Amino acid sequence: MDTVIETVGLDQKIVAIQADLLDEYASAHDHPWIIGFSGGKDSTLVTQLVLEMLLTLPPRQRVRPVHIVANDTLVEAPLVAQHLDRMLDRIRSASETLRLPVTVVKTMPKTDQTFWVNLIGRGYPSPSRTFRWCTDRMKIQPTSHYIREQVASNGKVVLLLGVRREESATRAVSVNRYSNGERLNDHNTLAGCLVYRPIVDITTEEVWQILLQRRPPWGGSHRELVTLYRNGQGGECPLVLDKDDAPSCGTSSSRFGCWTCTVVAKDRSMEGFIDAGYAHLEPLMEFRDWLAEIRNDPSRRAAHRRTGKVTHLADGSLVPGPFTLSARQEILEILLRTQDRVGEPLISPEEIRVIQDIWAEDAVRGLSQIAETPGPLETEQ
């Protein structure tokens, strides 16, 4: 009996969400919709509900464009990256077949701002809680650039996010802080971007219940998504568009995202994939652990910061700068060896060319000097 009552309650929630989506889509303004899509359960649910809403309308009323925007940091966990690409392909194909006004986009960091170019090229130490340089360059900037382009072309956009209060205590505080009591809220940093959170009051259990009971409009089922979560022992790192949201990456909870993430002490999601039978990924975990280990090795850090300055603390001890040139060369060599072991591309030829150009410039500027006096490690370059 309880199960029936719960199902009725959830059905009412779904009806209310779909009515709200339809009402906003049919509103007087014509701001394009942008769905922040990570490929995880929450953004998948938002995408499904939006496409289902569009299908209730006759083609002539599907006038407002919908952009489904995913972000690829280029160092996503291979299984997650493959799942995301399959999802985007299915949604793109189905949208064309069903005559939906949907554009599917995948944003990526510029070649000179990728993880490997910054770490191996410029020598940035692998990310930590005090120096999380990766989120802005690899996630925030690429997707924010796309949103700003749409704002420039249309005046305003509506950004739909699969944010839920129950996701975490931090997320609940964030939702409450930036909610004005209205359906749409101004984005904190993106002018002209209005944020819409259609599933904010849906629980985690309800998300899974909906996905397991309803087939997606793009065909198939959500079984692959369920398996991904089960094997990865956690959740996705969601789309990030604000530095205040950066803790969603590299938290102590088990999330799958960048396989290179050294912000966490242990990559539990990668461990989960390996334990689930994907033993070929073990070299990735070994390489990631090694990156975290050498981050605080003074012999691998240069004396000069990238500005050319040498910084000392009040006691006279040296604050190490970026990885030395020899350390960067070592990292690239081991990365390429790992790439051969895994049998999947981990770094592109274009990135290697940019890295070699930066090395040449650094050699001329003298930024390969090794720190002679080990000292406390800096938190920023």
User: Max alpha carbon distance in the chain (Å)?
Assistant: 75
What pLDDT is attached to residue 321? 84
Rounded distance between C-alpha atoms, residue 47 and residue 50, angstroms: 5
**Token match 């997606």: residue?**
216
For residues 208 and 6, the answer to whether their CB atoms sit within 8 Å is: no
- pLDDT of the residue at 254: 43
Which tokens belong to 106?
Answer: 């995948």
* Pair of tokens at residue 105: 């986009």
Q: What are the strands, taking DSSP E only, across the chain?
A: 33-36, 66-71, 102-107, 157-160, 184-186, 193-196, 235-236, 255-256, 311-312, 318-319
Q: What is the pLDDT of residue 283?
A: 97
In 3D space, the residue among 192, 157, 162, 197 whose CA is nearest the CA of residue 177 turns out to be: 197
Which of 206, 201, 208, 195 is CA-nearest to residue 159? 195
Question: What pLDDT is stored for residue 238 in this prediction?
Answer: 54
Instruction: State the Cα–Cα distance between residues 170 and 253, nearest whole angstrom.
Output: 12
Whole-number Å distance between alpha carbons of 121 and 357: 8
DSSP letter, residue 343:
T
Residue 266 is predicted with a pLDDT of 85
193 in Cβ contact with 155 (< 8 Å): no
- Residue 154, Cβ density class (10 Å: 0-12 exposed, 13-18 middle, ≥19 buried): middle
pLDDT of residue 130: 81
Per the CB < 8 A criterion, the answer to whether 338 and 355 are in contact is no
pLDDT value, residue 304:
75
| Residue corresponding to tokens 């070592």 | 330
* Cα separation, 343 vs 341, whole angstroms: 6
What is the number of alpha carbons within 13 Å of residue 8 lying toward its C-beta? 5
Which residue's entry shows tokens 């065909």? Answer: 219
pLDDT tens digits, one per residue of 256-288: 679 999 998 888 889 999 999 999 999 999 999
Q: What is the CA radius of gyration of the chain?
A: 23
Beta-strand pair 184-186/235-236: unpaired
pLDDT tens per residue across all 381 residues of the chain: 344 445 558 999 999 999 999 999 999 989 999 999 999 999 999 999 999 999 999 999 999 999 999 999 999 999 999 999 999 999 999 999 999 999 999 999 999 999 999 999 999 999 988 888 999 999 999 999 999 999 999 999 999 999 998 775 444 445 555 566 789 999 999 999 999 999 999 999 999 999 999 999 999 999 999 999 988 865 555 555 565 554 455 444 445 679 999 998 888 889 999 999 999 999 999 999 999 999 989 899 987 777 667 766 677 666 678 899 999 999 999 999 999 999 999 999 999 999 999 999 888 876 554 333 333 444 444
Long-range Cβ contact pairs of 360-367 (< 8 A, separation 24 or more): 362/123, 362/325, 363/325, 365/308, 366/304, 366/308, 367/123, 367/302, 367/304, 367/306, 367/308, 367/321, 367/322, 367/325
Total count of residues recorded for the chain: 381
pTM, two decimal places: 0.85
Which CATH number is 2-122+133-222 given?
Answer: 3.40.50.620
Residue 169: its pLDDT value, please?
Answer: 47
Sign of CA dihedral 365, 371, 375, 377: positive
Identity at 242, one-letter amino acid code: D
Tens of pLDDT, residues 30-74: 999 999 999 999 999 999 999 999 999 999 999 999 999 999 999
Residue written as token pair 């990238």:
306
